[in-house]
Amino acid sequence: FPSTTKAGRIWGRYRRWECRALLLCEHMPGRPFLSHFVCVGSPLRFMFVLKMNAVPLSGFIYLFIYLLIYLFSLQTVRWHIDLQPWASPTPSLNFEALRFLKYISTSQISCEHMNLSSLGGNSETTKKPWSVCLDERFGLIHRIRSKQCRLYSLGLGNDDNQFEISMANSGCEVHRFDPSIKSAHIQEGRHLWYHRLSVDWRDPNPAIAAHRLHSNTKKLGTILNEFGHQKIDVLKADVESAEWKILENLILEDVVEQIGQLVFEVHIHWPGFEVSGNDSTVVRYWYSLLRELELKDFRLFHTYKDLSKPQMFLKKAAFNASSCYTLSWVNTRWQQQEGIYDV
């Protein structure tokens, strides 16, 4: 509506109210009925406001179109991942754990070149925690050679940044997100940037006082939009048990489709932040998350079992499991012929 018209003035006031409602929607994924009422109800309530202010019929036509678009967008929103069937006829931690551990220990695709040293012609077979697939059939090696690759690294005060430095030295544009650094943005060399940001599974709601303390916490999709980046060649994450909810957010919002390879450190000594339920339910959720990645054509090509960490599985010394694994996936949709992207 033109801002000079009566409808436009009402619309402007109402949009400010509706923005607050939409912020609330974003933080109610576990309450689909309530969020549906807030999100869909706000345009309906605006129709009532227009009627009470005697706005011409054309205003209702604009709003009707807006409402149809809004309802269509809600149809595509996913609030939860699809849980896989139980591993056994009745829920059992033993069966769930064995299925999950077998899944993360079994490569789904072979990758012959996984270390950056291979770029110099060295044949190195030692398996490292942070491994990327540099086979010719996938896009990463070609982007590295053309100095067009991009790495996002999520961390929490970890001093070990050798992987990021190696990628930067290879010509990749590297962005490391760490809330513990002193300055908002630091550039180190030509290709390495540090940002005082923490990647989370939700954006802070400014209407909630407690969230204002975490204004440097954002979803990865939000950061991509703010940085003007459409794709990431490699996403590395060592976020100390926040990885499960972050991964869930990337899947639900389809951000994973903008990523070529994932290298995640996963922790299984406890459920993780905001992961609830009994032990068998938690493991089923973990397994279902990883199966969602597979459905999006990600394939596990490397698993590193950290024997230096406590050998625990959900607070128990069981199943010969480590409390920490590093898992690497390649997005098989990102083939060599995909070419180089611009941003």
User: Where is pLDDT greater, at 116 or 245?
Assistant: 245
Instruction: Give the predicted TM-score (pTM) of the model.
Output: 0.75
Q: What is the pLDDT of residue 74?
A: 52
What is the β-pairing status of strands 298-305 and 150-154? unpaired
Query: Do the Cβ atoms of 188 and 164 come closer than 8 Å?
Result: no
- 192: confidence class by pLDDT, cuts 50, 70, 90: very high
Q: What is the pLDDT of residue 281?
A: 98
Taking phi over 0 as left and psi of -120 to 50 as alpha, with beta for the rest, 273 belongs to beta
> Tens digits of per-residue pLDDT, 94-127?
999 999 999 999 999 999 998 776 555 444 444 5
Q: What is the mean pLDDT of residues 275-302?
A: 98
- 336: confidence class by pLDDT, cuts 50, 70, 90: low
Helices (H), ranges, the chain: 6-26, 32-52, 57-75, 93-104, 140-145, 162-169, 209-212, 220-227, 243-252, 279-295
**Is CATH 3.40.50 the right assignment for the domain spanning 93-338?**
yes
- The yes-or-no verdict on residue 31 having pLDDT over 80 is no
**Residues pairing with 176 in the sheet:** 153, 194
Sequence-distant (6+) residues with CB within 8 A of 340 are 142, 143, 146, 148
What residue spans define the domains of the chain? 6-75, 93-338
Q: What is the pLDDT of residue 181?
A: 86
